[in-house]
Structure 1
Amino acid sequence: MITGELKNKIDGLWDVFAAGGLVNPLEVIEQITYLMFIRDLDDVDNKRAKESAMLGLPYKSIFADEVKIGDRTIEGRQLKWSVFRDLPAGRMYTIMQEWVFPFIKDLHGDKNSAYSKYMDDAIFKLPTPLLLSKVVDSLDEIYSIMSQAQSSDVRGDVYEYLLNKIAQAGRNGQFRTPRHIIRMMVELVDPKADDVICDPACGTSGFLVAAAEYLKEKRKDEIFFNKEKKDHYMNSMFNGFDMDRTMLRIGAMNMMTHGIENPFIEYRDSLSEQNTDKDKYSLILANPPFKGSLDADAVSNDLLKVCKTKKTELLFLALFLRMLKIGGRCACIVPDGVLFGASNAHKSIRKKIVEENRLEAVISMPSGVFKPYAGVSTAVLVFTKTNHGGTDNVWFYDMTADGYSLDDKRTPISENDIPDIIERFKHLDKEIERKRTEKSFMVPKKEIEENNYDLSINKYKEIEYVPVEYPPTSEIMANIRELEKEISKEMDELERMLNS
């Protein structure tokens, strides 16, 4: 978490953009992302030059010599943030617009720049030199405070704080999954050092970032002291797809600010024939869009064979099953309708998960979890792909609190079921004897089958009714008569006052 001076500086940067006429949160974050790329390119180049000098190795800076941009040849050094930031605002604006942005795009094939591929269709939208000058100064102040911070993940925290400013849903039901819900899901599936992780609707890459942080905490020695595993962590462990290029750039930057050098973040329509991934991933973490419906002609045929529908939330479940390896695990968020929907498509995908694979948990979440973005009721499904069954008992949990108020303000509160959910999930053998009146309990597969594979917790939860004793009717009537007399007396008194 970031607090104090750093938070104020970021809020100040946001105000600078607003005063300059840029108020769309996605556009603001996108422009900040570009400028952070450009600043980081200078920092990384300087760092590698120093490391090479210390090791006595040759190193050629990407800013060395002359650089050809369009028809012009210029001195590469002029493209460094540390150089152009000290120029007059008008000159800096011209350099940024005419030289730096084209230079970044032309770095596409340069092995020294992991950032370049995310800048391919970047558009510089800052309208005036004065705004650029103020933004550059603000970013330098933010970087200066970050460099003094004790937290090793201050860069990631800063970027998360920026992302929190995306305060409205996008198209197709896009909205950010709260960080603590993501973390809960990651802890439930407990990623391993050799996992290949994917989010086919990655947005800002929140799930991939949380998985990376978890691995850094729990398996640091195993990954970072093993060359092969570290290489896997940096280059091939994390995979994300999205159809929104702005989100992709922001997601890629989010990964890199959390120390993943080369995440595979790609523009892809996950549900279409464009996505051929099959039996590829050992872990999928996702909150796919679930307000949209698609043109059936655009959907991959093998998904329609499993689940003939236009509903994205059902198609994504079929997709997860296809993309996972045998033994691969999935934790995903679904709207409540998936759990009890009566259509053939709803029933068929639930049956496939329960009968042909191993459904482990259904965690019902309160409707306020996604406020202020949406008030939809959702659940977390946790399952393993087996292709030959394995569901014996399904664990249900009725989450009623997540540590925050369930209104639009989402202020922190003491009630929080998440630690209990994680602890109980790790010891499911102790849940067998729990009663249906408690927050969590087991339901045998046979009972689920008999209920048309209904997975809503209310189908199985038992409510304990406490008998209430009321006074006899004659006593209630006598009380009502007494109240009537009191009212009549007060009305007479009021009438006298008005007539006097």
Structure 2
Amino acid sequence: MSATQDTVAKLWNLCHVLRDDGVTYSEYVTELTYLLFLKMMEETDQENRLPAEYRWATVATREGLAQLTHYKHLLTSLGDPEEKDADGKPKPPKDPLVLAIFENAQTRLRKPANLKSLTTAINDLDWFDAREEGLGDLYEGLLQKNAEDKKSGAGQYFTPRPLIDCLVRLTRPRLGERIQDPAAGTGGFIVAAHRKIYQANNQFFGLAEGEAQRQIRDCYTLAELVPDTHRLCLMNLMLHGIEGNAQAMDTLTDEGASLPKADLILSNPPFGTKKGGGRPQRGDFSTTANTSNKQLAFVEHIIRGLAPGGRAAVVVPDNVLFEDGTGRALRQMLMNWCDLHTILRLPTGIFYAHGVKTNVIFFTRNADGGQKDGTGAVWVYDMRAGAPSYGKTRPLRAEDFSDFEAAFGDDPLGHAERTDQGEEGRFRRFTREDIAARGDNLDISWLRDGEEEAEDGLTDPDDITAAILGHLREATREIEALVLELEGGEEEEVPASVAAE
């Protein structure tokens, strides 16, 4: 076991200490983020970003109720942009990252002994080895641990690392490109893209003056709606050396329209309907302006968010490929404005909730910015039929994507020489005419679907429970969509599967 893996295991085990304090798994990760931020500022010699009275040692060295009281005051103060001193005068402005991390921060801890357990355990970790292996990898490992634990419920916000890395390898992000994730979650796509660029450019040694700083500050754009998830995203970016534009915002409002055009968009947007059946509040939307289905609206944002010639790889649920009404109009827009060159049908169960059927769509915005005849043919790779039973006992691995990556080829725009493998193979080509004859339905399969076979093979109790919950959530969303349809008369409103950011 590496030092990073050992540290992650020790940190995660601390969550069991806090359960009797009423702290949930997801709350624990947020709580740990506050403390780890303070400790990592000390470990990386960045404590000058914090007021002297609110640094790690001021918390760790206290005992009992005095420690908990100081910690609560610290959280409130670090997140207050207009804090005043005892004389009522404004204190010096805080570091923007510190303000963002601690915005509206509050502790769920009630027992002083539990806070002491956390600070002592954090102090006792092997920080030298952790720094050597990378503090970003440590934090990313903690996020993954949280997502893999069924009780945390965080799997819906965490895209599996092997899938992220596959999409980054195929889209080939380059130095100087503007890269965007409009539903960033904890920032996994941007972190992986940055890692790829960093490694491909000799760890930024030898770049022209200012070029490395422009890369980490100006080339990455992220948006995340959920405040606590945005907090985790900021921490993840910081520990990977990224200071990009990570905004707490709703992309489906006019704020999203202001995001800069991107050369590459990588994203796994949330699935389902907006709460209360709300519609996107985007003045520039046309096709999805009147639907509450978030996954459809996010695809329109991504189409519009690409610069001419820009490319995208986006995780979408099955209904984006087959839904009538708004769904069909969106697919027509996609195939007219862009070259939708590849669809990857993903196996079920890889998002820690069986029953979630997802795909990755790869497309390129028309180079001339035009809005017609973008797609001549679509290649479909079926990775779902006959797939293994993914779960705790059979996690998704990088090698699971090797056949697809070989079939996709080495051109990020999908122009590599490809072979149609026929009805017995997994990779096939369908012309725009073929798709039009299908009513623009892109939910194309020809092999026996292995979903039933895969779920029959589940053996781990947590995986079986997740499969049942996945189907229950799907049924609940269908009922919610039916109610919306009856109340609003929108025939196109069909729900997606469970959220997966």
Match in the other structure for 2:406: 423
Query: Is 1:377 paired with 2:357?
Result: yes
Shift in Å at residue 337 of structure 1?
Answer: 1.5
Match in the other structure for 1:15: 16
- AA of the residue aligned to 1:267: A
Shift in Å at residue 318 of structure 1?
Answer: 0.7
Match in the other structure for 1:451: 438
Match in the other structure for 1:359: 340
- AA of the residue aligned to 2:444: I
Match in the other structure for 1:440: 427
Higher RCO (CA 8 Å, separation ≥ 6 residues): 2
Separation of aligned partners in 2, 1:307 and 1:113: 34
Ranges in structure 2 where 5+ consecutive residues have no aligned partner: 84-91, 449-501
Q: 1:43 and 1:110, CA in 2 relative to 1: closer, same or farther beyond 3 A?
A: farther
- Contact 1:189–1:331 (8 Å) recurs in 2: yes
Q: May I ask how many residue pairs the two structures share in their alignment?
A: 429
Match in the other structure for 1:281: 262
Residue from 326, 335, 342 that aligns with 1:345: 326
Greater mean alpha carbon deviation, residues 296-305 or residues 319-328: 296-305
Map 1:164-313 to 2 at 5 A.
Answer: 164-166=145-147, 167=149, 174-221=156-203, 225-260=207-242, 262-277=243-258, 280-293=261-274, 295-305=277-287, 308-313=290-295
Tell me the TM-score normalized by structure 2: 0.76
Shift in Å at residue 453 of structure 1?
Answer: 1.9
Separation of aligned partners in 1, 2:206 and 2:219: 14
Q: 1:257 and 1:107, CA in 2 relative to 1: closer, same or farther beyond 3 A?
A: farther
Separation of aligned partners in 1, 2:308 and 2:234: 28
- AA of the residue aligned to 1:397: Y
Query: Is 1:31 paired with 2:6?
Result: no
- Contact 1:239–1:265 (8 Å) recurs in 2: yes
Shift in Å at residue 7 of structure 1?
Answer: 4.0
Match in the other structure for 1:395: 379
Shift in Å at residue 181 of structure 1?
Answer: 0.9
- Contact 1:400–1:417 (8 Å) recurs in 2: no
Match in the other structure for 1:126: 109
Query: Is 1:82 paired with 2:41?
Result: no
- AA of the residue aligned to 1:438: G
Identity within the alignment, %: 23
SS in 2 for 1:275: helix
Separation of aligned partners in 2, 1:197 and 1:338: 23
Separation of aligned partners in 1, 2:27 and 2:110: 13
- AA of the residue aligned to 1:138: A
Separation of aligned partners in 2, 1:100 and 1:311: 36
- AA of the residue aligned to 1:344: G
Shift in Å at residue 447 of structure 1?
Answer: 1.6
Match in the other structure for 2:7: 6
Separation of aligned partners in 1, 2:18 and 2:206: 39
Shift in Å at residue 11 of structure 1?
Answer: 3.1
Shift in Å at residue 234 of structure 1?
Answer: 1.8
- Contact 1:191–1:211 (8 Å) recurs in 2: yes
Q: 1:398 and 1:325, CA in 2 relative to 1: closer, same or farther beyond 3 A?
A: same
Q: 1:417 and 1:327, CA in 2 relative to 1: closer, same or farther beyond 3 A?
A: same
Q: 1:357 and 1:267, CA in 2 relative to 1: closer, same or farther beyond 3 A?
A: same
Greater mean alpha carbon deviation, residues 149-158 or residues 378-387: 149-158
- Contact 2:179–2:262 (8 Å) recurs in 1: yes
- AA of the residue aligned to 1:41: M
Shift in Å at residue 133 of structure 1?
Answer: 0.9
SS in 2 for 1:126: coil
Q: 1:376 and 1:431, CA in 2 relative to 1: closer, same or farther beyond 3 A?
A: same
**Cα RMSD, aligned residues only:** 3.2
Deviations 1:272-327 (A, max 9, x none): 23322366111111111112246455532432445642211111111111111111
Deviations 1:180-212 (A, max 9, x none): 111111112111111111111111112112212
Structure ID, larger Rg: 1
- AA of the residue aligned to 2:33: T
SS in 1 for 2:310: strand
SS in 2 for 1:442: strand
Shift in Å at residue 88 of structure 1?
Answer: 2.6
Separation of aligned partners in 2, 1:104 and 1:239: 23
Q: 1:102 and 1:152, CA in 2 relative to 1: closer, same or farther beyond 3 A?
A: same
Q: 1:202 and 1:462, CA in 2 relative to 1: closer, same or farther beyond 3 A?
A: closer
Shift in Å at residue 83 of structure 1?
Answer: 4.6
Separation of aligned partners in 2, 1:349 and 1:264: 28
- Contact 1:353–1:359 (8 Å) recurs in 2: yes
Separation of aligned partners in 1, 2:340 and 2:330: 12
Match in the other structure for 2:119: 136
Q: 1:350 and 1:430, CA in 2 relative to 1: closer, same or farther beyond 3 A?
A: same
Residue from 142, 157, 168 that aligns with 1:161: 142
Tell me the TM-score normalized by structure 1: 0.77
Q: 1:152 and 1:62, CA in 2 relative to 1: closer, same or farther beyond 3 A?
A: closer
Match in the other structure for 1:92: 67
